């Protein structure tokens, strides 16, 4: 049978419209009660990249999480919310500064933290991902400087405990190798249901420093790979050009061929997103590993710290797996001899001070 993917229009995060839209997205798949049963413990896995507020568009919007938590409660189940932010900032601080702590108090939802890990395929994964009955993935529709797009498959990378995510970047600096790590994690903690927040998306140099784009869509399915494939198609990218989508499809973890996906609700033609800009790093990151560093040096393409925006918080330096970032009173700089172009610093900077720098040659190549 073809996997079903529902596409629903939703213009705002206003509670009434959002609830109607989320209900509809699930109803088109058979209703949430067909996935969630009474008495179950359901882990909601949003994309909580950093301690940024909802209006910054970096994290899955807290109102989307609120609605899903309440719908889970209607089914007689208990909601838990958990993620492991990518930077050096503690998860408690991220929950508080992003608004998720307030959400949890208001709705009586438990926020999960890493207390124990389970090592699978050499990857330490937070044990609470194995201590629930179901997982609902709530990714954010964004671009990513390393993987071009970040969606349902990559969202599960948040199951990796703490700064181990950065260390894995160092162990697997090649984008294709790293994509395989992302798929390993996804396969290990595969969710039963996905709802992508594409109401306000992010294009350009995402996942934290891109441009907010009013897309107005929710995309839902049991098949994470199909969700990412529809996302890719709607923004004008061949799904099999996205390494996580291609790799997961080849492993048999979901459907990537649009013709084999049954779209419910709004059609693909009605939902097409015009003018969606991909990261300038896409061309370089598509090259074989040894050439990435060579071309990046030639065109001077890579992360760069804007000292006017840098607040000396040192999140980038503490997160960098290659110890290539220096932050002190005298300077904020990146050592490009050490830099592996994993873009972790760009991803975690809370002030958009780490930007992707391009010289004229890079711009001439369309980067």
* pLDDT exceeds 70 at position 299: no
Nearest-angstrom CA–CA distance, 319 and 303: 14
Beta-strand (E) ranges in 40-138?
41-46, 78-82, 110-112, 117-120, 123-126, 134-138
Tokens of 236: 């004008």
Residue-wise pLDDT tens digits, 248-287: 999 999 999 999 999 999 999 999 999 999 987 655 555 5
Nearest-angstrom CA–CA distance, 154 and 117: 19
Q: DSSP secondary structure string, 9-25?
A: E-----HHHHHHHHHHH
Mean pLDDT of the residues in the chain: 92
* pLDDT exceeds 90 at position 360: no
Residue-wise pLDDT tens digits, 57-90: 999 999 999 999 999 999 999 999 999 987 778 8
Residue-wise pLDDT tens digits, 204-237: 999 999 999 999 999 999 999 999 999 999 999 9
What ranges do the domains of the chain cover?
A: 4-271, 282-364
Q: Of all helices (H) and strands (E), which one includes residue 105?
A: helix 100-107
* pLDDT exceeds 70 at position 115: yes
Q: Which CATH class is domain 282-364?
A: alpha beta
Nearest-angstrom CA–CA distance, 113 and 158: 12
Rounded percentage of the chain residues whose pLDDT exceeds 70: 91
pLDDT at position 175 is: 80
Q: Do domains 4-271 and 282-364 have the same CATH topology?
A: no
* pLDDT exceeds 70 at position 117: yes
pTM of the model: 0.93
What is the pLDDT averaged over residues 18-36?
98
4-271 fold = Rossmann fold (3.40.50)
Angle at 238 between CA 235 and CA 241, to 5 degrees: 115
pLDDT bracket for residue 240 (50, 70, 90): very high
CA distances from 355 to 8, 95, 107, 364 (A): 33, 25, 37, 19
239: which residues sit within 8 A by CB, 6+ positions away? 228, 229, 232, 233, 245, 246, 249, 256, 257, 258
Q: Note the helical H segments in 151-223.
A: 152-155, 164-171, 175-188
pLDDT at position 173 is: 82
For residue 207, say if its preceding peptide bond is cis, omega within 30 degrees of 0. Answer: yes
pLDDT at position 285 is: 53
């Amino acid at each position: 049978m073809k996997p079903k993917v529902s596409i629903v229009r939703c213009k705002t995060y206003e509670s009434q419209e959002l609830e109607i839209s989320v209900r509809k997205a699930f109803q088109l798949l058979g209703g949430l009660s067909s996935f969630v049963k009474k008495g179950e413990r359901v882990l909601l896995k949003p994309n909580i990249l950093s301690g940024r507020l909802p209006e910054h568009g970096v994290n899955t919007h807290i109102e989307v999480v609120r609605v899903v938590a309440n719908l889970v409660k209607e089914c007689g189940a208990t909601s838990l919310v958990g993620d492991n932010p990518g930077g050096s900032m503690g998860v408690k601080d991220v929950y508080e500064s992003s608004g998720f702590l307030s959400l949890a108090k208001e709705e009586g939802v438990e926020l999960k933290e890493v207390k124990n890990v389970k090592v699978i395929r050499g990857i330490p994964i937070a044990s609470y991902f194995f201590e629930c009955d179901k997982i609902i993935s709530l990714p954010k529709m964004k671009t990513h400087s390393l993987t071009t797009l970040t969606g349902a498959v990559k969202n599960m990378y948040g199951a990796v405990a703490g700064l181990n995510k950065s260390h894995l970047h160092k162990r697997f600096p090649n984008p294709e190798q790293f994509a395989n790590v992302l798929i390993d994690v996804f396969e290990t903690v595969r969710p039963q249901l996905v709802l992508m927040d594409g109401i306000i998306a992010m294009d350009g140099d995402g996942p934290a420093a891109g441009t907010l784009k009013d897309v107005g869509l929710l995309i839902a399915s049991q098949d994470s790979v199909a969700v990412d494939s529809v996302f890719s198609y709607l923004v004008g990218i061949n799904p099999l050009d996205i390494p996580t989508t291609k790799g997961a499809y080849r492993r048999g973890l979901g459907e990537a061929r649009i013709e084999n996906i049954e779209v419910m609700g709004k059609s693909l033609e009605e939902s097409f997103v015009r003018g969606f800009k991909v990261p300038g790093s896409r061309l370089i990151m598509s090259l074989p590993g040894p050439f990435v560093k060579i071309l990046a040096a030639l065109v001077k393409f890579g992360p760069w710290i804007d000292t006017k925006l840098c607040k000396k918080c040192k999140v980038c330096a503490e997160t960098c797996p290659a110890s290539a970032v220096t932050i002190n009173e005298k300077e904020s700089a990146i050592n490009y001899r050490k830099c592996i172009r994993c873009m972790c610093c760009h991803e975690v900077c809370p002030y958009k001070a780490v930007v992707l720098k391009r010289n004229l040659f890079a711009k001439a190549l369309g980067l």
